[in-house]
Amino acid sequence: MARPVFIVDGSRTPFLKARSGPGPFTPVDLAVQCGRPLLARQPFSPDSFDQVILGCVNVIADEMNPARVAALRLGMGEDMVAFTVQINCGSGMQSIDTAYRYIREGHADMILAGGTEALSHAPLVWPNSGVRWFAGLATAKGVAAKLASAFKLRPRDLKPIIGLERGLTDPVTELNMGQTAEVVGHLFGITRAQSDAYAAESHRRLAHAQSAGYLKGEVETAFSRDGKFFDHDDGVRPDSTAETLAKLRPVFERPWGQVTAGNSSQITDGASWVILASDAAVAKHKLTPRAVIVDSHWAALDPSIMGLGPVMSVTPLLKRNDLTLKDVETWELNEAFATQVLGCLAAWKDDKFCREILGLDGAAGEIDRERLNVDGGAISLGHPVGTSGNRIVLHLVNAMKRLGTRRGVATECIGGGLGGAMLIEAV
């Protein structure tokens, strides 16, 4: 029989907006910064875990298999099995889902599952012509051959390619993620004014959560090697309004597009962990569970409308558990783009879409905006790609406890045309 899987604790770093050049932390640095205080407050030693699973998309060359590097730096022992998972924006949630299934089926009792990303460390890449030139120079024999090869260099061979830009472009449709949000917005008639209003509200909610202390115990202060400290998500702009955001120009589809830097998620560095445990581990270590994972679901769709991934993953998840949208009291839907979030809400209200695409008898219904991303989301926080899926699960659990709600869903769209969703219940 499947065993219950509990979320017993978790923590994350502040999300730090990428500015000029690499930030103060690598992906593993980030994972260690929030992992150390999390493990230090547990009533068991760090080597008590069965596995470490970490989501990361932009792995840097100095940290191959960052899960293993992080586990060793966290003092979890040389015997600790640790591996890294990658499913684009869903990587941090995939780590939880993989751990959930290991524990549910009895293959493990306690797993540390996380996500980390330092988008500011995304590399500049040489064009292929430059790589070929360098290879020719390196393999040339003799001074004359090397000089001949050297003189073949052209300025275009040294023009760098922004790795992050290519990584955020779908290789099949050749649309970048912002363009896919424009497609979703067009399909459901989302206006620029609606997107800007949503984005401004995200900033207002995060600023309120910070000032009210709602993130205390979730966000751990991070300390860089030069002695600086970072204790809050620094991308929030409390003074943002729909009017000020309306002044920004479209980024991806000029001049008529509606996706701007102001109503999109921010390029950010950050990490997050959650501790998952079986009932046996809870009893053994006298832990206090915060929530139980009820179910999860992954879905796939056309990459050009990847923003509808939450609709495609949540709907079968709820149907399998005999639930409707109204039965879920608290929602975390990752804010890749305001237009994309609003497109998902519109899709669930669209009778034709729900009948023809989702196979429902009619419109699925409406999600109360007061239940959705109650403390802001990626538009104000940022979206460190490999981390966000983990953060939304962690924050969902904490928000449910604060609000006294019983049932929640964390969900996200995933670049490449995927979606993931997880159903959580308070205990």
Whole-number Cα distances in Å, 46 to 32, 279, 390, 418 = 13, 19, 20, 34
For helices 388-403 and 91-104, give the axis angle rounded to 10 degrees.
70
Q: Could you give phi then psi for residue 386, rounded to 5 degrees?
A: -75, -10
Q: Which of 306, 302, 350 is nearest to 179 (CA)?
A: 306
d(CA 299, CA 309): 7
What six digits make up the tokens of 258? 């509606």
* Active site amino acids: 89, 383, 413
Please, is 1 exposed, middle or buried when counting C-beta atoms within 10 Å of its C-beta (0-12, 13-18, 19+)?
Answer: exposed
- The secondary element (H helix, E strand) that includes residue 161 is strand 161-162
Q: Which long-range contacts (CB under 8 A, 24 or more apart) does 66-72 make?
A: 66/27, 66/28, 66/31, 66/116, 69/28, 70/28, 70/31, 70/32, 70/35, 70/114, 70/116, 71/112
Please, is 195 exposed, middle or buried when counting C-beta atoms within 10 Å of its C-beta (0-12, 13-18, 19+)?
Answer: buried
d(CA 341, CA 332): 11
**Would you list the DSSP string of 109-141?**
SEEEEEEEEEGGGPPEE--HHHHHHHHHHHH--
* Cβ-contact 346, 189 below 8 angstroms: yes
Paired sense of beta strands 51-55 and 110-118, if any: parallel
Q: Could you give phi then psi for residue 218, rounded to 5 degrees?
A: -100, -45
Q: Could you give phi then psi for residue 89, rounded to 5 degrees?
A: -60, -15
Q: Helix, strand or coil for residue 169?
A: strand
Q: Which residues pair with 271 in a beta bridge?
A: 116
